[in-house]
């Protein structure tokens, strides 16, 4: 049972990480120092997409599921839980572009807010 709980917790953490990659720039509007953590997270997310890297969270979830007697993920986390579930697979490129736009808008807004604060 412990491994199953670990797998489920890892899955939730993975969803939270992806949400932070997409929306973390907006978090930095409230807590500006969070931008450094977001830059790391977004950079890691970009590397996973560009270089087809395996995420350590996926590895942990697979490992825990296998120890719990379940099958691991047949594909990566995003391919298992998001692509084809939250949006049709044929729109993967559009979803990636939308994510990039959301991140860019959050950074532009952060820069604008910081400039406004500096001006007084």
- pLDDT tens, position by position, 31-81: 999 999 999 999 999 999 899 888 999 999 999 999 999 998 988 899 999
- Name the residue with higher pLDDT: 75 or 7: 7
Strand spans (E) along 21-94: none
Q: What's residue 83's pLDDT?
A: 94
Answer whether 101's CB lies under 8 Å from 25's CB: no
Residue 120, pLDDT above cutoff 80: no
pLDDT digits (tens, 9 = 90+) for 93-113: 999 999 999 999 999 999 999
Q: What's residue 117's pLDDT?
A: 86
**What separation in angstroms does the CA of 20 have from each of 1, 32, 57, 72, 114?**
29, 14, 15, 24, 20
pTM for this prediction: 0.91
Residue 15, pLDDT above cutoff 80: yes
Q: What's residue 106's pLDDT?
A: 98
Q: What's residue 113's pLDDT?
A: 93
Q: What's residue 92's pLDDT?
A: 95
């Amino acid at each position: 049972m412990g491994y199953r709980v670990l797998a489920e917790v890892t899955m939730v953490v993975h969803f939270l990480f992806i949400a932070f990659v997409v929306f973390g720039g907006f978090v930095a509007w409230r807590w500006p120092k969070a931008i450094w953590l977001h830059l790391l997270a977004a950079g890691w997310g970009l590397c996973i997409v560009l270089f087809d890297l395996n995420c350590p969270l996926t590895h942990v979830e697979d490992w825990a599921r296998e120890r719990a007697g379940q099958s691991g993920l047949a594909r990566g986390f995003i391919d298992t839980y998001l692509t084809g579930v939250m949006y049709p697979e044929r729109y993967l490129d559009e979803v990636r572009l939308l994510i990039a736009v959301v991140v860019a808008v959050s950074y532009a807004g952060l820069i604008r807010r910081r400039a406004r604060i500096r001006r007084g």
